[in-house]
Amino acid sequence: MPTIDVIIELSPAACLAHYEGRVGVVHTRSLDGRSVQFPAEALRRVVTRDGVHGVFRLYVSPEGRFEGIRRLSAPPDSR
């Protein structure tokens, strides 16, 4: 299964907009500079009270459809 590693930095307020459905797609960049978008509902699996911060691996189908997300690392200043 293909993967894309991305950096996500979203505040709690931004996550709330995604959670409430006001924003349906997350736009970010991969570690190699590609523009990446995936369904906002995926954030429910990785959101904390501080938002979403860190490096994540996106799992995609061979056709490029989002299939899963996993945290690879937290930001350096996380507790």
How many CB atoms within 10 Å of residue 24?
10
DSSP per-residue string spanning 33-45: S-EEEEEGGGGGG
pTM of the model: 0.82
Find all residues with CB under 8 Å of 15, minimum gap 6, and list them. 43, 47, 51, 52
User: What one-character DSSP code corresponds to residue 40?
Assistant: G
- pLDDT tens-digit map of 7-61: 999 999 888 887 787 888 999 999 999 999 999 888 888 988 899 999 999 999 9
